[in-house]
Structure 1
Amino acid sequence: MNNFISKVSKGIIAILPFLLLFWIFSFVYDFFEAIFHSVFGITNSNLFITIVIFILSICLLYYIGHLLDKNKEFLLISITEMIIAKIPLVKSIYSGIKEVLNIFSGKGKEGYLGVAYVNVGTMELMGFITKDEGEFFWVFIPTTPNPTSGFIAKISKENIRMSNLSVSDGFKKIISLGVK
Protein backbone atom coordinates (compact mmCIF):
# COMPACT_ATOMS: atom_id res chain seq x y z
CA MET A 1 0.00 0.00 0.00
CA ASN A 2 2.86 2.38 0.83
CA ASN A 3 4.45 1.68 -2.56
CA PHE A 4 1.12 2.45 -4.25
CA ILE A 5 0.81 5.84 -2.51
CA SER A 6 4.42 6.64 -3.35
CA LYS A 7 3.90 5.94 -7.04
CA VAL A 8 0.62 7.88 -7.15
CA SER A 9 2.27 10.90 -5.50
CA LYS A 10 5.19 10.72 -7.95
CA GLY A 11 2.67 10.56 -10.80
CA ILE A 12 0.88 13.63 -9.46
CA ILE A 13 4.15 15.53 -9.15
CA ALA A 14 5.12 14.48 -12.68
CA ILE A 15 1.93 15.79 -14.29
CA LEU A 16 1.43 18.83 -12.02
CA PRO A 17 3.41 21.23 -14.26
CA PHE A 18 1.30 20.19 -17.25
CA LEU A 19 -1.91 20.62 -15.26
CA LEU A 20 -0.83 24.05 -14.05
CA LEU A 21 0.13 25.07 -17.59
CA PHE A 22 -3.24 23.82 -18.89
CA TRP A 23 -5.02 25.71 -16.10
CA ILE A 24 -3.15 28.93 -16.95
CA PHE A 25 -3.94 28.57 -20.67
CA SER A 26 -7.57 27.79 -19.84
CA PHE A 27 -7.79 30.83 -17.57
CA VAL A 28 -6.21 33.12 -20.20
CA TYR A 29 -8.50 31.74 -22.92
CA ASP A 30 -11.62 32.19 -20.78
CA PHE A 31 -10.49 35.69 -19.82
CA PHE A 32 -9.99 36.82 -23.42
CA GLU A 33 -13.15 35.06 -24.57
CA ALA A 34 -15.15 36.93 -21.94
CA ILE A 35 -13.62 40.24 -22.98
CA PHE A 36 -14.18 39.63 -26.69
CA HIS A 37 -17.70 38.39 -26.09
CA SER A 38 -18.64 41.31 -23.87
CA VAL A 39 -17.10 43.86 -26.23
CA PHE A 40 -18.22 42.43 -29.53
CA GLY A 41 -20.94 39.96 -28.53
CA ILE A 42 -20.60 37.91 -31.71
CA THR A 43 -17.36 36.02 -31.30
CA ASN A 44 -18.95 32.74 -30.17
CA SER A 45 -20.99 32.33 -33.31
CA ASN A 46 -18.65 33.60 -36.03
CA LEU A 47 -15.17 32.17 -36.55
CA PHE A 48 -14.20 34.84 -39.10
CA ILE A 49 -14.99 37.68 -36.66
CA THR A 50 -13.06 35.89 -33.92
CA ILE A 51 -9.97 35.59 -36.16
CA VAL A 52 -10.23 39.23 -37.21
CA ILE A 53 -10.49 40.35 -33.58
CA PHE A 54 -7.52 38.17 -32.66
CA ILE A 55 -5.40 39.68 -35.47
CA LEU A 56 -6.46 43.21 -34.51
CA SER A 57 -5.55 42.45 -30.88
CA ILE A 58 -2.08 41.26 -31.90
CA CYS A 59 -1.65 44.39 -34.03
CA LEU A 60 -2.74 46.56 -31.09
CA LEU A 61 -0.26 44.82 -28.76
CA TYR A 62 2.48 45.27 -31.36
CA TYR A 63 1.63 48.97 -31.66
CA ILE A 64 1.71 49.43 -27.88
CA GLY A 65 5.09 47.68 -27.78
CA HIS A 66 6.34 49.93 -30.59
CA LEU A 67 5.20 53.03 -28.70
CA LEU A 68 6.92 51.79 -25.55
CA ASP A 69 10.16 51.28 -27.49
CA LYS A 70 10.00 54.83 -28.82
CA ASN A 71 8.75 56.47 -25.64
CA LYS A 72 9.50 54.70 -22.36
CA GLU A 73 6.73 56.63 -20.57
CA PHE A 74 3.74 55.62 -22.68
CA LEU A 75 0.81 57.77 -21.50
CA LEU A 76 -1.78 54.97 -21.29
CA ILE A 77 0.56 52.80 -19.18
CA SER A 78 1.42 55.76 -16.92
CA ILE A 79 -2.24 56.60 -16.30
CA THR A 80 -3.07 52.95 -15.61
CA GLU A 81 -0.19 52.66 -13.15
CA MET A 82 -1.31 55.85 -11.37
CA ILE A 83 -4.80 54.36 -10.96
CA ILE A 84 -3.38 51.03 -9.73
CA ALA A 85 -1.13 52.89 -7.26
CA LYS A 86 -4.25 54.18 -5.49
CA ILE A 87 -5.62 50.68 -4.75
CA PRO A 88 -3.84 49.29 -1.64
CA LEU A 89 -3.75 45.51 -2.15
CA VAL A 90 -3.67 45.61 -5.94
CA LYS A 91 -0.75 48.07 -5.84
CA SER A 92 1.53 45.70 -3.93
CA ILE A 93 0.67 42.71 -6.12
CA TYR A 94 1.12 44.72 -9.32
CA SER A 95 4.46 46.18 -8.25
CA GLY A 96 5.78 42.72 -7.32
CA ILE A 97 4.70 41.21 -10.62
CA LYS A 98 6.13 44.16 -12.55
CA GLU A 99 9.47 43.89 -10.73
CA VAL A 100 9.80 40.18 -11.51
CA LEU A 101 8.83 40.73 -15.15
CA ASN A 102 11.35 43.58 -15.45
CA ILE A 103 14.08 41.36 -14.08
CA PHE A 104 13.30 38.52 -16.49
CA SER A 105 13.00 40.88 -19.44
CA GLY A 106 16.39 42.41 -18.68
CA LYS A 107 15.04 45.81 -17.60
CA GLY A 108 15.66 45.25 -13.88
CA LYS A 109 19.45 45.01 -14.09
CA GLU A 110 19.97 48.62 -13.05
CA GLY A 111 18.12 47.96 -9.78
CA TYR A 112 20.48 45.25 -8.55
CA LEU A 113 24.25 45.37 -8.25
CA GLY A 114 24.63 41.59 -8.31
CA VAL A 115 23.83 38.25 -6.78
CA ALA A 116 25.50 37.27 -3.53
CA TYR A 117 25.44 34.61 -0.86
CA VAL A 118 24.88 35.88 2.68
CA ASN A 119 26.40 33.99 5.60
CA VAL A 120 23.78 33.27 8.24
CA GLY A 121 25.17 30.90 10.87
CA THR A 122 26.29 27.75 9.08
CA MET A 123 24.24 28.35 5.92
CA GLU A 124 24.27 30.75 3.00
CA LEU A 125 21.20 32.54 1.67
CA MET A 126 21.02 33.86 -1.87
CA GLY A 127 20.38 37.58 -2.06
CA PHE A 128 20.44 40.47 -4.47
CA ILE A 129 22.61 43.46 -3.69
CA THR A 130 20.59 46.65 -4.04
CA LYS A 131 22.99 49.27 -2.70
CA ASP A 132 26.68 49.60 -1.84
CA GLU A 133 27.11 51.67 1.31
CA GLY A 134 30.78 51.77 2.27
CA GLU A 135 31.56 48.69 4.38
CA PHE A 136 28.01 47.38 4.01
CA PHE A 137 25.69 46.12 1.29
CA TRP A 138 21.93 46.41 1.30
CA VAL A 139 20.75 42.95 0.24
CA PHE A 140 17.26 41.81 -0.73
CA ILE A 141 16.82 38.17 0.29
CA PRO A 142 13.72 36.80 -1.43
CA THR A 143 11.60 33.89 -0.32
CA THR A 144 11.21 30.90 -2.56
CA PRO A 145 9.38 30.13 -4.83
CA ASN A 146 7.74 33.60 -4.67
CA PRO A 147 10.54 36.16 -5.04
CA THR A 148 8.17 39.11 -4.67
CA SER A 149 8.36 38.74 -0.91
CA GLY A 150 11.41 38.53 1.30
CA PHE A 151 13.41 40.83 3.51
CA ILE A 152 16.04 43.51 3.12
CA ALA A 153 19.16 43.52 5.27
CA LYS A 154 22.17 45.76 5.76
CA ILE A 155 25.06 43.30 5.88
CA SER A 156 28.80 43.83 6.24
CA LYS A 157 30.76 42.95 3.11
CA GLU A 158 32.80 40.33 4.99
CA ASN A 159 29.64 38.23 5.51
CA ILE A 160 28.86 38.19 1.79
CA ARG A 161 30.28 35.99 -0.96
CA MET A 162 29.72 37.35 -4.46
CA SER A 163 28.20 35.03 -7.07
CA ASN A 164 28.90 34.89 -10.78
CA LEU A 165 25.17 34.44 -11.50
CA SER A 166 23.31 37.16 -13.37
CA VAL A 167 20.30 38.68 -11.61
CA SER A 168 17.99 36.87 -14.03
CA ASP A 169 19.69 33.53 -13.36
CA GLY A 170 19.52 34.18 -9.62
CA PHE A 171 15.77 34.73 -9.78
CA LYS A 172 15.37 31.61 -11.92
CA LYS A 173 17.20 29.65 -9.23
CA ILE A 174 14.92 31.07 -6.53
CA ILE A 175 11.71 30.36 -8.46
CA SER A 176 12.78 26.84 -9.43
CA LEU A 177 13.61 26.00 -5.79
CA GLY A 178 17.29 25.70 -6.65
CA VAL A 179 16.82 23.19 -9.49
CA LYS A 180 17.95 25.49 -12.32
Structure 2
Amino acid sequence: MNRQELPPTVPPSDPPTDTPRGLMARFRNYFLTGLIVAGPIAITFYLTWWFVTWVDGLVRPFVPIAYRPETYLPFGLPGSGLIVAVIALTLLGFLTANLIGRTLVDFGERLLGRMPVVRAIYRGLKQVFETLFSGQGSGFRRVGLVEFPSPGMWSIVLLSQAPSMEIANRLPGQDEHVSVFLPCAPNPTTGFFFYVPKSKIVEVDMSAEDAATLIMSCGVVQPGSDPQKRIAALAGMADAARVANSASPQPDPMKVE
Protein backbone atom coordinates (compact mmCIF):
# COMPACT_ATOMS: atom_id res chain seq x y z
CA MET A 1 0.00 0.00 0.00
CA ASN A 2 2.82 2.38 0.70
CA ARG A 3 4.31 1.84 -2.74
CA GLN A 4 1.01 2.69 -4.40
CA GLU A 5 0.72 5.91 -2.43
CA LEU A 6 4.12 7.20 -3.61
CA PRO A 7 3.06 8.75 -6.95
CA PRO A 8 0.45 11.09 -5.43
CA THR A 9 3.18 12.61 -3.23
CA VAL A 10 4.30 14.65 -6.29
CA PRO A 11 2.08 17.72 -6.43
CA PRO A 12 0.47 18.20 -9.86
CA SER A 13 1.43 21.88 -9.80
CA ASP A 14 5.18 21.18 -9.79
CA PRO A 15 5.70 20.55 -13.57
CA PRO A 16 4.29 23.98 -14.50
CA THR A 17 6.69 25.59 -12.03
CA ASP A 18 9.64 23.85 -13.74
CA THR A 19 8.63 25.07 -17.18
CA PRO A 20 9.27 28.80 -16.54
CA ARG A 21 12.56 27.90 -14.90
CA GLY A 22 13.58 25.97 -18.04
CA LEU A 23 12.53 28.85 -20.27
CA MET A 24 14.61 31.30 -18.24
CA ALA A 25 17.65 29.00 -18.42
CA ARG A 26 17.24 28.63 -22.18
CA PHE A 27 16.80 32.39 -22.55
CA ARG A 28 19.92 33.06 -20.49
CA ASN A 29 22.05 30.58 -22.43
CA TYR A 30 20.87 31.85 -25.81
CA PHE A 31 21.43 35.42 -24.68
CA LEU A 32 25.00 34.65 -23.61
CA THR A 33 25.63 32.87 -26.91
CA GLY A 34 24.41 35.89 -28.85
CA LEU A 35 26.48 38.18 -26.65
CA ILE A 36 29.64 36.21 -27.38
CA VAL A 37 28.93 36.38 -31.11
CA ALA A 38 27.85 40.02 -31.33
CA GLY A 39 29.98 41.55 -28.57
CA PRO A 40 33.42 41.36 -30.26
CA ILE A 41 31.92 42.45 -33.59
CA ALA A 42 30.21 45.47 -32.04
CA ILE A 43 33.30 46.53 -30.10
CA THR A 44 35.50 46.10 -33.18
CA PHE A 45 33.19 48.27 -35.29
CA TYR A 46 32.98 50.84 -32.49
CA LEU A 47 36.77 51.09 -32.11
CA THR A 48 37.21 51.26 -35.89
CA TRP A 49 34.60 54.00 -36.15
CA TRP A 50 36.24 55.91 -33.27
CA PHE A 51 39.66 55.67 -34.92
CA VAL A 52 38.33 56.84 -38.30
CA THR A 53 36.48 59.80 -36.81
CA TRP A 54 39.49 60.68 -34.66
CA VAL A 55 41.79 60.77 -37.69
CA ASP A 56 39.18 62.75 -39.64
CA GLY A 57 39.05 65.32 -36.86
CA LEU A 58 42.83 65.69 -36.92
CA VAL A 59 43.22 65.89 -40.70
CA ARG A 60 40.11 67.87 -41.70
CA PRO A 61 41.41 71.28 -40.46
CA PHE A 62 44.42 70.94 -42.80
CA VAL A 63 42.27 70.15 -45.87
CA PRO A 64 40.99 73.20 -47.77
CA ILE A 65 37.24 73.62 -47.77
CA ALA A 66 37.13 73.33 -51.55
CA TYR A 67 38.56 69.78 -51.34
CA ARG A 68 36.32 68.49 -48.57
CA PRO A 69 33.60 66.00 -49.60
CA GLU A 70 30.95 67.67 -47.44
CA THR A 71 31.31 70.81 -49.58
CA TYR A 72 29.74 68.99 -52.53
CA LEU A 73 27.69 66.36 -50.71
CA PRO A 74 24.71 66.92 -48.39
CA PHE A 75 26.44 64.76 -45.77
CA GLY A 76 29.94 64.13 -44.48
CA LEU A 77 32.01 61.26 -45.83
CA PRO A 78 33.59 59.30 -42.94
CA GLY A 79 37.09 58.11 -43.66
CA SER A 80 38.05 60.91 -46.04
CA GLY A 81 40.53 62.27 -43.51
CA LEU A 82 42.00 58.80 -43.03
CA ILE A 83 42.50 58.46 -46.78
CA VAL A 84 44.23 61.84 -46.90
CA ALA A 85 46.45 60.83 -43.97
CA VAL A 86 47.46 57.54 -45.63
CA ILE A 87 48.28 59.31 -48.91
CA ALA A 88 50.22 62.05 -47.10
CA LEU A 89 52.27 59.56 -45.08
CA THR A 90 52.98 57.51 -48.20
CA LEU A 91 54.19 60.60 -50.06
CA LEU A 92 56.28 61.57 -47.04
CA GLY A 93 57.93 58.16 -47.04
CA PHE A 94 58.52 58.38 -50.79
CA LEU A 95 60.14 61.81 -50.49
CA THR A 96 62.23 60.70 -47.52
CA ALA A 97 63.65 57.79 -49.52
CA ASN A 98 65.44 60.06 -52.01
CA LEU A 99 68.46 62.27 -51.46
CA ILE A 100 66.54 65.52 -50.98
CA GLY A 101 64.20 63.95 -48.45
CA ARG A 102 67.03 62.43 -46.45
CA THR A 103 68.78 65.80 -46.41
CA LEU A 104 65.68 67.52 -45.04
CA VAL A 105 65.17 64.77 -42.43
CA ASP A 106 68.80 65.07 -41.31
CA PHE A 107 68.42 68.83 -41.04
CA GLY A 108 65.27 68.44 -38.95
CA GLU A 109 66.92 65.88 -36.67
CA ARG A 110 69.91 68.16 -36.11
CA LEU A 111 67.51 70.98 -35.30
CA LEU A 112 65.64 68.85 -32.78
CA GLY A 113 68.95 67.57 -31.38
CA ARG A 114 69.75 71.07 -30.14
CA MET A 115 66.62 71.29 -28.01
CA PRO A 116 67.33 69.88 -24.52
CA VAL A 117 63.90 68.44 -23.65
CA VAL A 118 62.58 67.73 -27.13
CA ARG A 119 65.78 65.89 -28.05
CA ALA A 120 65.27 63.10 -25.52
CA ILE A 121 61.58 62.70 -26.35
CA TYR A 122 62.20 62.58 -30.11
CA ARG A 123 65.06 60.07 -29.93
CA GLY A 124 63.13 57.75 -27.65
CA LEU A 125 59.99 57.84 -29.77
CA LYS A 126 61.99 57.38 -32.96
CA GLN A 127 63.65 54.25 -31.63
CA VAL A 128 60.31 52.85 -30.49
CA PHE A 129 58.66 53.46 -33.88
CA GLU A 130 61.63 52.05 -35.76
CA THR A 131 61.54 48.89 -33.65
CA LEU A 132 57.80 48.38 -33.92
CA PHE A 133 57.16 49.27 -37.56
CA SER A 134 60.41 48.65 -39.41
CA GLY A 135 60.06 44.87 -39.14
CA GLN A 136 63.78 44.57 -38.39
CA GLY A 137 63.70 44.61 -34.61
CA SER A 138 63.11 41.59 -32.41
CA GLY A 139 61.29 43.37 -29.62
CA PHE A 140 58.12 41.82 -28.19
CA ARG A 141 58.20 38.83 -30.54
CA ARG A 142 58.91 36.25 -27.83
CA VAL A 143 56.88 35.38 -24.76
CA GLY A 144 58.18 33.98 -21.49
CA LEU A 145 57.33 33.28 -17.87
CA VAL A 146 59.02 34.74 -14.79
CA GLU A 147 58.41 34.23 -11.09
CA PHE A 148 56.55 37.38 -10.13
CA PRO A 149 55.39 38.83 -7.74
CA SER A 150 56.63 36.05 -5.40
CA PRO A 151 58.24 32.60 -5.74
CA GLY A 152 55.83 30.03 -7.04
CA MET A 153 53.71 32.63 -8.87
CA TRP A 154 54.40 32.92 -12.60
CA SER A 155 53.58 35.89 -14.82
CA ILE A 156 53.62 36.28 -18.58
CA VAL A 157 56.24 38.68 -19.92
CA LEU A 158 57.18 39.93 -23.38
CA LEU A 159 60.87 39.56 -24.12
CA SER A 160 62.61 42.58 -25.62
CA GLN A 161 66.18 43.50 -26.48
CA ALA A 162 69.25 42.75 -24.39
CA PRO A 163 70.36 45.63 -22.16
CA SER A 164 72.99 48.03 -23.44
CA MET A 165 76.61 47.59 -22.51
CA GLU A 166 76.45 50.42 -19.96
CA ILE A 167 73.51 48.83 -18.12
CA ALA A 168 74.80 45.25 -18.49
CA ASN A 169 78.07 46.19 -16.79
CA ARG A 170 76.16 47.61 -13.83
CA LEU A 171 73.84 44.64 -13.32
CA PRO A 172 74.99 42.31 -10.51
CA GLY A 173 76.09 38.79 -11.23
CA GLN A 174 77.61 37.15 -14.27
CA ASP A 175 74.35 35.94 -15.83
CA GLU A 176 73.12 37.38 -19.11
CA HIS A 177 70.07 39.61 -18.62
CA VAL A 178 67.10 40.25 -20.89
CA SER A 179 64.78 43.25 -21.01
CA VAL A 180 61.22 42.15 -20.31
CA PHE A 181 57.86 43.90 -20.17
CA LEU A 182 55.20 42.54 -17.83
CA PRO A 183 51.73 43.65 -19.03
CA CYS A 184 48.94 44.21 -16.55
CA ALA A 185 45.46 42.71 -16.88
CA PRO A 186 43.09 43.64 -18.39
CA ASN A 187 44.99 46.51 -20.07
CA PRO A 188 48.19 45.08 -21.59
CA THR A 189 49.45 48.54 -22.59
CA THR A 190 50.38 49.22 -18.96
CA GLY A 191 52.76 47.20 -16.84
CA PHE A 192 56.30 46.91 -15.53
CA PHE A 193 59.64 46.96 -17.31
CA PHE A 194 62.68 45.33 -15.73
CA TYR A 195 65.78 43.25 -16.42
CA VAL A 196 65.74 39.54 -15.61
CA PRO A 197 68.55 36.98 -15.80
CA LYS A 198 68.10 34.84 -18.88
CA SER A 199 68.33 31.68 -16.76
CA LYS A 200 65.26 32.80 -14.77
CA ILE A 201 63.05 33.08 -17.86
CA VAL A 202 61.03 30.17 -19.19
CA GLU A 203 60.22 30.79 -22.86
CA VAL A 204 56.87 29.54 -24.12
CA ASP A 205 55.71 28.78 -27.65
CA MET A 206 53.16 31.59 -27.87
CA SER A 207 52.83 34.68 -30.01
CA ALA A 208 52.69 38.16 -28.52
CA GLU A 209 49.13 38.53 -29.83
CA ASP A 210 47.99 35.38 -28.04
CA ALA A 211 49.70 36.58 -24.86
CA ALA A 212 47.91 39.94 -25.07
CA THR A 213 44.58 38.17 -25.63
CA LEU A 214 45.24 35.91 -22.64
CA ILE A 215 46.03 38.90 -20.45
CA MET A 216 43.08 41.02 -21.62
CA SER A 217 40.67 38.16 -20.97
CA CYS A 218 42.23 37.47 -17.54
CA GLY A 219 42.86 33.86 -18.53
CA VAL A 220 39.38 33.17 -19.91
CA VAL A 221 40.53 32.90 -23.53
CA GLN A 222 43.39 30.40 -23.65
CA PRO A 223 45.83 30.40 -26.58
CA GLY A 224 45.04 27.94 -29.33
CA SER A 225 41.31 27.85 -28.67
CA ASP A 226 39.13 28.34 -31.74
CA PRO A 227 36.42 31.01 -31.30
CA GLN A 228 34.01 29.05 -33.47
CA LYS A 229 34.56 25.98 -31.30
CA ARG A 230 33.89 28.03 -28.17
CA ILE A 231 30.65 29.35 -29.67
CA ALA A 232 29.62 25.85 -30.76
CA ALA A 233 30.42 24.53 -27.29
CA LEU A 234 28.31 27.23 -25.68
CA ALA A 235 25.44 26.49 -28.06
CA GLY A 236 25.77 22.80 -27.19
CA MET A 237 25.60 23.67 -23.51
CA ALA A 238 22.45 25.68 -24.15
CA ASP A 239 20.84 22.77 -25.98
CA ALA A 240 21.87 20.35 -23.24
CA ALA A 241 20.38 22.64 -20.61
CA ARG A 242 17.16 22.88 -22.61
CA VAL A 243 16.92 19.09 -22.93
CA ALA A 244 17.74 18.57 -19.25
CA ASN A 245 15.15 21.10 -18.12
CA SER A 246 12.44 19.61 -20.35
CA ALA A 247 13.23 15.96 -19.57
CA SER A 248 13.51 16.16 -15.81
CA PRO A 249 10.30 17.55 -14.30
CA GLN A 250 11.49 16.79 -10.79
CA PRO A 251 9.89 18.70 -7.95
CA ASP A 252 11.75 21.06 -5.74
CA PRO A 253 12.83 19.15 -2.58
CA MET A 254 11.88 22.15 -0.48
CA LYS A 255 8.28 21.86 -1.66
CA VAL A 256 7.81 18.16 -0.78
CA GLU A 257 6.87 17.97 2.82
Is the shorter-chain TM-score for this pair beyond 0.5, marking a shared fold? yes
Out of 145, 151, 161, which is 2:192 matched to?
A: 151
Q: Secondary structure at the match of 2:69?
A: coil
Question: Is 1:18 the counterpart of 2:18 in the alignment?
Answer: no
TM-superposed CA distance for 1:76, in Å, is 11
Equivalent position amino acid for 2:177 in 1: F
1:175 & 1:148 partners in 2: Cα distance?
A: 9
User: Is the 2:143–2:211 contact (alpha carbons within 8 Å) kept by the matching residues of 1?
Assistant: no
Equivalent position amino acid for 1:64 in 2: L
For residue 135 of structure 2, what is the aligned residue in structure 1?
106
Q: Secondary structure at the match of 2:162?
A: strand
For residues 100-139 of structure 1, what are the structure 2 equivalents within 5 Å? 102-103=131-132, 106-109=135-138, 111=139, 114-120=142-148, 121-127=151-157, 128-131=159-162, 133=168, 134-135=174-175, 137-138=177-178, 139=180
More strand by share: 1
Equivalent position amino acid for 1:59 in 2: I
TM-score (structure 2 length as normaliser): 0.44
1:26 & 1:52 partners in 2: Cα distance?
A: 13
Question: Is 1:176 the counterpart of 2:228 in the alignment?
Answer: no
Say which one has the larger Rg: 2
Encode CA deviations 1:82-124: one digit per residue, 9 max, x unaligned.
Answer: xxx87xxxx8xxx6xx958953663542x56954322354453
Task: Provide closer, same or farther for how the CA distance between residues 30 and 141 of structure 1 changes in structure 2, counting only shifts above 3 A.
Answer: closer
User: Is the 2:183–2:190 contact (alpha carbons within 8 Å) kept by the matching residues of 1?
Assistant: yes
1:2 & 1:19 partners in 2: Cα distance?
A: 25
Identity %: 20
User: Is the 1:137–1:156 contact (alpha carbons within 8 Å) kept by the matching residues of 2?
Assistant: yes
User: Is the 1:141–1:150 contact (alpha carbons within 8 Å) kept by the matching residues of 2?
Assistant: yes
TM-superposed CA distance for 1:63, in Å, is 1.0
**Higher relative contact order (Cα pairs below 8 Å, separated by 6+ residues):** 2
Q: Secondary structure at the match of 1:116?
A: strand
1:99 & 1:62 partners in 2: Cα distance?
A: 20
1:29 & 1:3 partners in 2: Cα distance?
A: 39
Q: Secondary structure at the match of 2:202?
A: strand
TM-superposed CA distance for 1:161, in Å, is 1.8
Greater shift after overlay, 18-27 or 121-130?
A: 121-130
For residue 66 of structure 1, what is the aligned residue in structure 2?
94
TM-score (structure 1 length as normaliser): 0.58
Task: Provide closer, same or farther for how the CA distance between residues 123 and 106 of structure 1 changes in structure 2, counting only shifts above 3 A.
Answer: farther
For residues 18-97 of structure 1, what are the structure 2 equivalents within 5 Å? 18-34=41-57, 35-36=59-60, 39-41=63-65, 42-46=68-72, 57-67=85-95, 71=102, 74=105
